[in-house]
Amino acid sequence: MASHDDKGAKAPAGEVTAAAGGSTAVTATRGGGGSIPPPPHPPGSGDEEDGMLRMSFLEHLEELRSRIIKMILGVAVAYALSLFYCERLWRLIAVPAVDALIKLGVKPPTLKAITPMEQFNVIWVKLPILCGVFLASPWIVYQVWAFISPGLYKRERRYAAPFVLCSAGLFIMGGAFAYFVAFRFALTFLLGIGMGNYVEPMVSISEYFDLFVNVTLGVGLVFEMPILIFFLTLLRIVSPRFLLRHSRYAVLGIFVLAAILTPTPDAFNMMLFATPMCLLFYVGIFAGYLLVLKREGRHFPWRKMLTITTIVLVILGAILYLAALHYKWHPVPHWPFLTR
């Protein structure tokens, strides 16, 4: 009879043996008696997946519901704060219309309330909601990031603060660009159509505010293009090389989108929308390129680039200064910021 010590002395090939800690391991042997090394770890395992959460479909839905509720609560708080400044905010929003009517010689340069509830709905309901969305945009973007971050690697979660700040900043910058530049030119063009042919513009506050919301929110969302490109690069869905190779199609799509967003049919206002969109597209490609360099352990030549950029800006500044002296331009606090 074999003793108890002899039973565990030798195990057949492929037999599952128990480790001291209670875990099991498969031991395979070759014909020569040597053991086959364990298979390599799959890519993305180990430290890279440290901290990644595994959730079921229902848990994802629950997390999404929680984040949406928090977004709504953030907008509600910003809405409540905006209620205290409704009249001041409305005066700011009405400025582009008043300026356009003054330029067109319409007297009095005021907006009209057609129905009794129109002023209440616009000034005290819709306007605070719009302001609440812009004020709560950092909180909204943070909730979006908090929803998707559990599926990212630990090293990729370091982009949380730049993602939130850049996304909210670009959204607010888009709204400011629409307010100070694009919307004013478009409004002057629209109100001026038909002037002199027995047509005098009469603008209701509801129609004006709806157009204002469409333009500001549309441009604000379009300004998120660099963040979208960076995020797609982060997920390895696209690459900067692929985007540059197909940039002509992207530029064509940008001009089509600008034609849709522009409330006027003229080419000048379309260019006002398309030009910053094209710039933002290439800014997003550059941000994705920096991300790829970091993944590959390379560094961008910032010192050389800053030197070249400084030289170019100095040359452009000198040209602008000489042109201002020649044409007797002087700065003004509104677009185009230079006038005779």
User: What pLDDT, on the 0 to 100 scale, is given for residue 55?
Assistant: 67
Q: What is the DSSP string of 99-112?
A: HHHHHTT-SS---B
Cis amide leading into 96 (omega within 30): no
Q: What is the DSSP string of 218-243?
A: HHHHHTTHHHHHHHHHHTTSS-HHHH
Task: Read off the DSSP letter of residue 338.
Answer: E
Task: Read off the DSSP letter of residue 32.
Answer: T
Query: What is the rounded (10 degree) CA torsion for 308, 311, 317, 318?
Result: -150
Helix (H) / strand (E) containing 331: strand 330-331
Summarize the confidence of residues 89-105 as an average pLDDT. Answer: 88
Cβ atoms of 171 and 221 closer than 8 Å: yes
Q: Which amino acid is at 276?
A: P
The structure tokens listed for 60 are 């994802």
In tens, the pLDDT along 250-305 reads 899 888 888 877 766 667 778 878 888 899 999 999 988 888 888 888 888 888 88
Q: Which among 136, 146, 7 is positioned nearest to 72, based on CA atoms?
A: 136
- Alpha carbon distance 288, 272 (integer Å): 25
Q: What is the DSSP string of 48-77?
A: GGTT-----HHHHHHHHHHHHHHHHHHHHH
Q: Which among 124, 153, 163, 151 is positioned nearest to 43, based on CA atoms?
A: 153
- φ/ψ region of 24 (left if φ > 0, alpha if ψ in -120 to 50, else beta) reads beta
The confidence band for 22, taking pLDDT boundaries of 50, 70 and 90, is: very low
Instruction: Check pLDDT > 70 for residue 335.
Output: no
The structure tokens listed for 125 are 């309901």
In tens, the pLDDT along 42-65 reads 444 444 445 555 667 787 788 889
Cβ atoms of 277 and 202 closer than 8 Å: no
Q: Which among 256, 189, 254, 182 is positioned nearest to 217, based on CA atoms?
A: 182
Instruction: Check pLDDT > 50 for residue 10.
Output: no
